[in-house]
Structure 1
Amino acid sequence: MTDVALRWGFNDLSHFSRSFRRRFGMSPREYRNLLGFLQKPGWHPDTSVCHGPT
């Protein structure tokens, strides 16, 4: 997460986290975990339903 914060011009990780939460309604960690879930096999973006491995 530090590399992302620095890439976007934040020198303070706490400030980045607060700004991220205000903008996206979740912490950077929660967002990363959500992306990990969405990239699992069986997840379909049109239905937002996880069907499990096929």
Structure 2
Amino acid sequence: MSVDDEKTTALREEQRRYRETHSRDGYPLGSPEYPDNRAGRRRLARTWRGHRD
């Protein structure tokens, strides 16, 4: 195994671990900061569209 193969394997393993512990939008799973309620999701969506509260 070459050094590049080892780096690629390590990177894939790191990405796999990240996917196991984070949601698709990057929040840690089970995180209290995740906008789990409707108001939080709407507020987050508004900020992404450039609107202000």
Q: Which has the larger radius of gyration?
A: 2
- Output the TM-score relative to the length of structure 1: 0.33
- Output the TM-score relative to the length of structure 2: 0.33
Greater RCO, CA 8 A, separation 6+: 1
